Amino acid sequence: MMLHYQRILRFAPGLADAGARRFVTEGARAIAAKGGKFFGVFKPVIGLSQNCVIVITDWPDEAAAQAHAASALHGVHDAQAVAHDLWEPTARPFPGEAPAETTGFYSYRAFDIRPENWPRFLELSRDAWDNFEGINESVVKGFWKARTPPAPGLLRVRLMAWYASLDAWERSRWWSSNARPGQEDAIRRFRERSAMLEDNEVAILTRVVA
């Protein structure tokens, strides 16, 4: 089963940009040599420290992820791990797919739900995207189940979506009074999905490219 390994690293002030560039150059070569590849390297704009870098790598199975994900740190010696986890892809990304956009912004969300609500949560999300993506300048890039629960009896779901601009993100919110017309079906499904949440958080990121 394809898995993604997510790692958040924190650098000393002023060093995150250089560290991120090393991930997409030296780190990418080291990962490829071990049979993996980068899903993406990202820097926070809103919601996380500007000194953090988010690294997501793609592996053919759990054994490879556990053995080789640290290869992404090749050439990076001045960062502290803040968090890490294995993610199991669900409806997105499609096999082998990774973000291609070099402009715009990415939402980086965590939804905490009861495991018994997962089938309906997935169904609502997948069906809403058909309407949501056709109206908004946005594409859902990943929808994962995290292997590590946030607390006993909870499941953490991770979502990443691309937006052409911060305005596009703001106008896509189901609660926004300035929401784009035509996405009423998506809004109805997102409202039902929201009622299932035990907790959620979001950050806005940009993608780092070589």
Question: For a pLDDT cut of 70, what percent of the chain falls above it?
Answer: 100
Instruction: Give yes or no for residue 176 having a pLDDT over 80.
Output: no
For residue 22, is it within any domain?
yes
H or E element at residue 112 = strand 105-113
Query: 131 with 192, same domain?
Result: yes
Q: pLDDT of 96-121, one tens digit each?
A: 899 999 899 999 999 999 999 999 99
Which pLDDT value is given to residue 76? Answer: 83
Task: Write out the residue range of the structural domain in which residue 172 sits.
Answer: 110-198
- Tell me how long the chain is: 210
**Two tokens, residue 48:** 């996380």
Instruction: Give yes or no for residue 75 having a pLDDT over 90.
Output: no
CATH number of residue 134's parent domain: 3.30.70
pTM score of the predicted model: 0.93
- Distant-in-sequence, close-in-space partners of 87: CB < 8 Å, separation ≥ 6: 3, 4, 5, 6, 56, 142, 144, 145, 146, 147, 158
Q: pLDDT of 128-149, one tens digit each?
A: 999 999 899 999 999 999 999 9
Half-sphere exposure of 45 (CA within 13 A, CB side): 12
CATH number of residue 86's parent domain: 3.30.70.100
Radius of gyration of the chain (CA): 17
Query: 87 with 119, same domain?
Result: no
Query: 74 with 32, same domain?
Result: yes
Q: Mean pLDDT of all residues in the chain?
A: 94
